[in-house]
C-alpha cells in the first residue's frame, strides 16, 4: 500500500495505463491470430481482406507504444509475404 499521496496517484495511473496497454496488446494479438488462421485455412480472399486490417492494427500498436517499430515492420513483412504466396497459388 502506498504511504504518500503521490504514490497513491502513481498507483492509479499505472493501473489505468496497464489496462489500456493490455487492451491494445490483446487487440493486436487477436488480429494477428485471425490472419494466421485465414492463412492456414488457405482462403486467399479472406487473408487479403484481413491483411489490411491487421496492418492497420499493427501500425496503431506502434503509435500507442505497444510494439517497437522494427518489430511491427517484421510482422507486417512476414504476414504480407505469406498472404502474397497464398494468392500466387
- pLDDT of residue 1 exceeding 90, the answer is no
Q: What is the share, in percent, of the chain residues with pLDDT greater than 70? A: 100
- What digits encode the pLDDT tens for the residues 38-74? 999 998 999 999 999 999 999 999 999 999 999 999 9
Assign 2 a pLDDT band (cuts: 50, 70, 90).
Answer: confident
**What is the average pLDDT score of the chain?**
95
DSSP string, 52-68: HHHHHHHHHHHHTTSS-
Q: Cell numbers of 2, please?
A: 502506498
Cβ atoms of 2 and 10 closer than 8 Å: yes
Assign 87 a pLDDT band (cuts: 50, 70, 90).
Answer: confident
CATH superfamily of 5-88: Ribosomal protein S20 (1.20.58.110)
Domain range list for the chain = 5-88
Report the alpha-carbon distance of residue 87 to residue 24 in Å, rounded. 29
Amino acid at each position: 500500500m502506498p504511504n504518500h499521496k503521490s504514490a497513491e496517484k502513481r498507483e492509479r495511473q499505472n493501473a489505468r495505463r496497464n489496462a489500456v496497454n493490455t487492451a491494445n496488446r490483446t487487440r493486436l494479438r487477436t488480429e494477428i491470430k485471425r490472419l494466421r488462421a485465414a492463412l492456414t485455412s488457405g482462403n486467399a480472399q479472406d487473408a487479403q481482406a484481413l491483411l489490411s486490417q491487421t496492418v492497420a492494427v499493427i501500425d496503431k500498436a506502434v503509435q500507442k507504444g505497444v510494439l517497437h517499430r522494427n518489430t511491427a515492420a517484421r510482422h507486417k513483412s512476414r504476414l504480407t509475404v505469406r498472404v502474397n504466396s497464398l494468392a500466387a497459388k
